[in-house]
Amino acid sequence: MVIKKDGKTIVHPYIPNSVPEVQEEMLREIGLKDIDELYSGIPDELKFKGKFNLPEPLLAECELKRHVKRILSKNKTCEENISFLGGGCWPHYVPAICDEINQRSEFLTAYAGEPWEDHGRWQALFEYQSLVAELVDMDVVNVPTYSWGQAAATSLRMSCRITKRDEVLLVDTISPERLAIIRNYCEPLVKVKLVKHDPVTGMMDLEDLKSKMSNKIAAIYFENPSYLGFIETNGKEISEIAHDKGALSVVGVDPISLGVLAPPSHYGADIVCGDLQPLGIHMNFGGGLAGFIATRDEEKFVMEYPSRLFGITKTIVEGEYGFGDVAFERTSFAKREKAKEFVGTMAALWGITAGVYLALMGPKGMWEIGKTIMQRSQYTMKKLSEIDGIKAPRFKAPHFKEFVVDFNETGMSVKEINKRLLEYGIFGGIDLSKSFPELGNSALYCVTEIHTKEDIDKLVQALREIIEGKR
């Protein structure tokens, strides 16, 4: 049986051997009459005999395109509007070359080939590791994992194995999504405890941290810039508190900040993790995430990575670069349940893309983008603060690209305000009233290099109208 539609046989373009004559020829070769005979190893009672309730196929590509485009047209994008949403998935400019490279069929459709015939894939990922290593100023970076949340969770599990301890301390301003991932990834083997933040500055409360430190703690984790946008300036003190008790300092970081901000390794971080999405990868409704982990080049760290680590090596030909897996025996591919966590298909294409981005940007580009972002976000905070009832930023601290806008004095909820902003073609910041109830009606705004003065002024004007009109 082949596909039938209205009594006609259809040869589907995706299935070359759906040509009936070819099937007959192949069956003859095998010595069978019907493909169904090949399923005789499956008991009849297990075979599905009903009719799947799936829509009729859209066989012509033309029909399929019309159908899918029609559904997608219901989306209103951040390109068609002005968006101030961030919080773990950020609007940055994606250089055209990043897309040109990651849509090349060779990279897009490759998978798990060997170091010789897939040499380009191995080199591109080795280069991505090397480029991110410069950004974080550390010597080891992994082939990317799923996301920052996973990278942080694995960094913490690595810390536990390295220190042979099973409790971790996280700052309570951590992204709620990442916290949920870490909690699930740690349960039941690793205990997760939160450290308070200073309500004025947002920074980690060092007294609370000290009171929770003990020689059971494997790692202290904080983020820089924090989820709430401010920059944690006590990184050195926090790392020292960790090290004094034999724990590791683990820092999550937004890599696009590292042209201007000191990398965590400069203030004592032992493991650095974060998301590659800002580096040339579209938001993709949250699908553009990819997590990286970086450490020093010490055996006790390297041997605890679950990830693939692509290393450079020699070939039998003098002067030829080759690549291969470093310490493959660590991985679940080699060791199954005795491995370091697990590895599999994760986010390699985004790793290659981030490498392309960093190669394009260079040191100057990374400095300039950091500077532009900081200027634009500071301008936004300043202008928003001029509106009666709005306080921005909520925390008294330097900020990078995100900041909390406090609407408590306006008498309006963030939900209401964002609904109104939508009428202006503006996506307002993330409503924090549920995830950080102590902040009341506050929202997390994100401003990057893509926001022009005109965009920002439009936001300010709209908020002024909404809030003043309300009064």
Q: What is the spatial distance between Cα 153 and Cα 140, in angstroms, rounded to a whole number? A: 18
Three-state DSSP string of 151-189: HHHHHHHHHHHHHCCCEEEEECCCCHHHHHHHHHHHCCC
Binders of other proteins among residues 193 to 222 (CB under 8 A) are none
Work out whether 91 is an interface residue with other proteins (CB under 8 A).
yes
Work out whether 445 is an interface residue with other proteins (CB under 8 A).
no
Among 221, 222, 227, 323, binds other proteins (CB under 8 A): 323
Region from 191-199, 370-378, 403-411, 463-471 binding other proteins, contact rule CB under 8 A: 370-378
Question: Considering CB under 8 A, how many residues would be counted as binding other proteins?
Answer: 217
Work out whether 168 is an interface residue with other proteins (CB under 8 A).
no
Per the CB < 8 A criterion, the answer to whether 135 and 272 are in contact is no
Q: What is the spatial distance between Cα 383 and Cα 386, in angstroms, rounded to a whole number? A: 5
Our CB check for other proteins shows the closer of 317 and 437 to be 317
Region from 212-220, 276-284, 402-410, 463-471 binding other proteins, contact rule CB under 8 A: 276-284
Among 6, 8, 164, 320, binds other proteins (CB under 8 A): 320
Per the CB < 8 A criterion, the answer to whether 104 and 349 are in contact is no
Q: 230-243 burial by CB neighbour count: b if 16+ within 10 A, else e?
A: bbbebbebbbebbe
Work out whether 424 is an interface residue with other proteins (CB under 8 A).
no
Strands 321-325 and 402-406, sheet pairing: unpaired
Our CB check for other proteins shows the closer of 95 and 440 to be 95
Q: Please, what is the minimum distance in Å from the beta carbon of residue 388 to other proteins? A: 19
Q: Please, what is the minimum distance in Å from the beta carbon of residue 217 to other proteins? A: 20
SS3 for 275?
A: strand
Q: What is the spatial distance between Cα 446 and Cα 450, in angstroms, rounded to a whole number? A: 11
Region from 196-204, 245-253, 404-412, 450-458 binding other proteins, contact rule CB under 8 A: 450-458
Work out whether 6 is an interface residue with other proteins (CB under 8 A).
no
Q: Please, what is the minimum distance in Å from the beta carbon of residue 147 to other proteins? A: 5
Work out whether 437 is an interface residue with other proteins (CB under 8 A).
no
Contacting residues for 115 by C-beta, under 8 A, at least 6 apart: 122, 322, 323, 324
Among 33, 66, 100, 411, binds other proteins (CB under 8 A): 100
Residue from 280, 273, 19 nearest 158 by CA: 273
Q: Please, what is the minimum distance in Å from the beta carbon of residue 432 to other proteins? A: 11
Q: How many CB atoms lie within 10 A of CB 66?
A: 11
Phi and psi, residue 49, nearest 5°: -110, -5
Region from 199-207, 358-366, 404-412, 461-469 binding other proteins, contact rule CB under 8 A: 358-366
Among 199, 363, 388, 411, binds other proteins (CB under 8 A): 363
Q: 418-429 burial by CB neighbour count: b if 16+ within 10 A, else e?
A: bebbeebebbbb
Among 427, 436, 442, 466, binds other proteins (CB under 8 A): 427
Question: From residue 443, how far is each of 95, 171, 390, 418, 421 by CA, in Å?
Answer: 29, 20, 11, 10, 13
Binders of other proteins among residues 169 to 198 (CB under 8 A) are 175, 177-178, 180-181, 183-185, 187-189
Work out whether 160 is an interface residue with other proteins (CB under 8 A).
no
Work out whether 137 is an interface residue with other proteins (CB under 8 A).
yes
Q: Please, what is the minimum distance in Å from the beta carbon of residue 300 to other proteins? A: 10
Phi and psi, residue 196, nearest 5°: -70, 160
In the stretch 46-85, what mask flags binding to other proteins with x, by CB under 8 A?
A: xxx--xxxxxxxxx-x--xx-xxx-xxxxxxxxxxx-x-x
Among 6, 7, 14, 437, binds other proteins (CB under 8 A): 14
Work out whether 396 is an interface residue with other proteins (CB under 8 A).
no
Q: How many CB atoms lie within 10 A of CB 345?
A: 8
Q: Please, what is the minimum distance in Å from the beta carbon of residue 211 to other proteins? A: 25
Work out whether 317 is an interface residue with other proteins (CB under 8 A).
yes
Q: Which helix (H) or strand (E) holds 369?
A: helix 348-385
Work out whether 364 is an interface residue with other proteins (CB under 8 A).
yes
Work out whether 8 is an interface residue with other proteins (CB under 8 A).
no
Identify the residue whose tokens are 């970086």. 294
Q: Which two tokens stand for residue 265?
A: 């390794």
Q: Please, what is the minimum distance in Å from the beta carbon of residue 391 to other proteins? A: 17
Identify the residue whose tokens are 């964002």. 418
